[in-house]
Structure 1
Amino acid sequence: MDRTNQNELDKLRRIVLEQDNSAKLLIRRDLELTRANEKLRELDQAKSNFISIVAHQLRTPLSGVKWTLNMVLSDNFGSLTTEQKSFLMKCYESNERMIMLINDMLGADRIDSDKLKYNFVPTQIFDLMDNVLFELTALVKKNKLRVNFINKERTLPRVLMDNEKMRAAVQNLLENAIKYTPEGGEVSIDFQVLDEFLRVSITDTGIGIPDEDQKNIFNRFFRAKNAIKVETDGSGLGLYIAKGIIEKHGGKIWFESKVGKGSIFYFTIPISP
């Protein structure tokens, strides 16, 4: 074998050796990634189990506290002075915030782990939103707001949705609009048919969302800076949960907002065939 052929052969051997080493490295990296992914899945499952256990252990006594406070505030154990009622109402509201926080944590975890089961049925979403608003009457009155449906008399098509899940999404959106709208402001709800979807818009004259915060507004635990100043309590999970539920319905959610002017949150949901 002449020197030229020997050089070519040596070169080929080096290439084969390099490829062999590269293949071994890729296999090793693949195994490491597989083990890391398995570890992440185990950690994620452990996190879900922890949240479920803690939430259950907390929610049970908190529900008992809520029931007891309701009984006391209803004068079932005797009359209360105005000062006593005021103090107990603050306890009741704090207890409600704790229950809401636990429910939000459970809701976010179920969305992350895809544990929520959906039962899509033809439903009139106007009725659902009207019922949610009725439940928020006390908050609306407290803030002295005007809340109205635009074109209320219009007949809307039914949409395919899971009533319980969509109720949670709608409640988060409406609560935000009401909580972050100053006294004397307005919240309005409108519907528009867009091809195979119904678009719902919730408009408020609230504090708005700063430009620098808008890209993160649907992230877990995120709250805009000006929102924290207005409402110190809050999980920062409401919009994250609403987005997850709406997208699971095959819809989309987005918004327009200006600080000091207010926000419009839109979402779409498929119309029932």
Structure 2
Amino acid sequence: MTLAAATEQDNGLALTINHVSHQFWLENESLPVLQQVSLEVKPGEFVALLGPSGCGKSTLLRLVAGLDLPTEGEIFEDNIPLTAPDPSRVVVFQDPTLYPWRTVRDNVALGLQAQGKRDASASQRIDSVLERVGLTQFANAWPRQLSGGMAQRAALARALVNKPRLLILDEPLGKLDSLTRIRMQRELVSLWQEQRFTTLMVTHDVEEALLMANRVVVFSARPAKILEIIHVDVPFPRRRNDPQLIALRTRALAQLGAELNEEPGL
């Protein structure tokens, strides 16, 4: 399914990042982390962010989530200034942050319960998303009984069950083993195609970005600025050995390697 073909079904919000800069203060000295970042994300689009570790990608996600305000510039959702968190924007961080006193099922149900949704329909949604992330048999387990990868899958289920308009993913699959990661890449793409939420994902895996996203935004080292936006005009389902993806992977790695003054060796 192409992005153009799906626009009539899109449930996602439009995101505008307008000349955003951000800095932190450490011991009375400023630490710039973002530099004049501007980006338009269409409703229902899947955008991946690539860049050197620590360049500011996760900071940008926090700004988009409304958890922090930019030092300079503005962020808009559906042409409305974004100034605070909202239930329509759901974040999955690198660490799963499950509540230890709630079972897996109760952790997944948290958002629905907060909205007063406790009926049979809500229960079916929980069952469905647990099945998709492979945790049906662990629905009544406690977080302490889960592996790191299973806990991250539970965190993904907790986000997806709420049918977000903007799904914000901060390296969500990094702790999964290779086979589970491949499966979850496919499931996330499938859910995105079905529900048409807008997705903004940070990943350090170039191949993952190209397999999942409509566009890949390549950032410089800190303070992050956009070096290139790669359009991935390859239909789904995508294959790792697709010549177009291989060419785009080489292009992205060359950009990142040049930024780090290294020759790409993978």
Relative CO higher for 1 or 2, CA cutoff 8 Å, sep ≥ 6? 2
Task: Tell me if TM exceeds 0.5.
Answer: no
Length-normalised TM-score, structure 1: 0.26
For the pair shown, the structure with the greater C-alpha radius of gyration is 1
Higher helix share: 1
Length-normalised TM-score, structure 2: 0.26
Higher strand share: 2
